[in-house]
Amino acid sequence: MVLQNARRIVVKVGSSLVTNEGRGVDAVAVGAWCRQIAALAAQGRELIMVSSGAIAEGMKRLGWPTRPREIHELQAAAAVGQMGLAQIYETELRKNGIVSAQVLLTHADLADRERYLNARSTLLTLMRLKVVPVINENDTVVNDEIKFGDNDTLAALVANLIEADVLVILTDQRGLFSADPRHDASAQFVHQAKAGAPELECMAGGAGSPLGRGGMLTKILAAKRAARSGASTIIASGKEKDVLVRLSEGESIGTALLASTPKLAARKQWMANHLQLRGSLLIDDGAAEKLTLENKSLLPIGVLAVEGDFHRGDIVAVCNPAGVEVARGLANYASSEARLIARKPSSDFERLLGFTGEPEMIHRDNLVLSTS
């Protein structure tokens, strides 16, 4: 039932599924998921794929029987394998009438405020254009300090980034058991639980496939992370026939880990509790009314003054002419840019800034009212 009413979905598939246990990219399997993605897209849903498999495909093309440990060898394998991975997704999605895009991310992209907002804007734009982004960690440039460590974590971060309703992690296992069923005959299957519950981490554990970096524990932790932005997680077998379509129809498959906080409330709580405000925007009465009564975005033309020194992606306060905070949100422009375009229409942006950016100073999706 978790996926039945979801509008925005992140689907992650692991290396062993994508590459048929390391034999190379499995076109049949990828084709099946792409067909299901197209079916869900036809229902008006927005989807993002997070796919492992680049390193495994590169290992196959390079003739390496085991996963290398040296970071430069991993990077080389990823560079070789990414070609085949992108090609097969593009081919299979196109067969189903879907335009695709390849997006490579590193932890640094989501840790840096400006790059975070840029990545978010790009992904939201792609989905608005009915394009399905296929995301992978940018293994060709990662090092020990910036790598995600596994694509389960990456998928959870993407779910946070775009405020997904549901994260679906497709794996080579049925879901979560109370213990390892390979060693404990009394292990019980977990159909549903609360994401982030401490006992789940005790149940999970053990190494994953030698092709990937994750096991069931990384999936449990990914669900915990996704729940912070209100996204529930489903862990299910990617080998189940039409698993995504059946989940969208309300069938119970795999393990559902439910977020305890609704998506909007989670985002509002994060912004409302943000203590390190880098600046503020003083707005006129008309703009204040648009924000508080009509749930509109904040446009630069409604900004009277800009205070503080902040960067694109920083959280800033939005105050009415009396100086009372009425909202706060993620700024689309740095303070120096905001001062140039305050009280100006969007048609003047290119002349004033040298480029055309977002029309909003703060988009309504990135803004929370102080009275909420």
Per DSSP, 171 falls in state E
Considering just the CA atoms, what is the radius of gyration of the chain in Å? 22
CB under 8 Å to 250, separation ≥6 — which residues? 1, 3, 4
Per-residue pLDDT 10s for the chain (372 aa) are: 688 899 999 999 988 898 887 677 899 999 999 999 999 999 999 999 999 888 888 988 999 988 888 888 988 988 999 998 999 999 999 999 999 999 998 877 877 777 888 898 899 999 999 999 999 888 777 665 446 657 898 899 899 889 899 999 999 889 999 887 777 888 899 999 999 898 898 887 644 444 444 588 899 999 998 998 889 999 999 999 999 999 999 999 999 999 987 766 666 666 666 557 889 999 999 999 999 999 999 999 999 999 999 999 888 999 999 999 999 998 999 999 999 999 999 999 999 999 988 999 999 888 888 754
Domain residue extents for the chain: 8-267, 274-369
| CATH superfamily label, 274-369 | PUA domain (2.30.130.10)
Top CATH class, 8-267: alpha beta
Q: Which of 136, 28, 22 is nearest to 88 (CA)?
A: 28
Helix axes 151-162, 113-128, angle to 10 degrees: 80
Q: Which of 6, 18, 30 is nearest to 100 (CA)?
A: 30
CB under 8 Å to 2, separation ≥6 — which residues? 166, 232, 234, 247, 256, 258
Contact 171, 255 (CB under 8 A): no
Beta bridge partners of 192: 256
Three-class secondary structure of residue 245 per DSSP: helix
List, in sequence order, every beta strand (DSSP E) within 186-231: 192-194
Q: Do domains 8-267 and 274-369 have the same CATH topology?
A: no
**Sign of the dihedral defined by the CA atoms of residues 309, 314, 318, 324, in that order:** negative
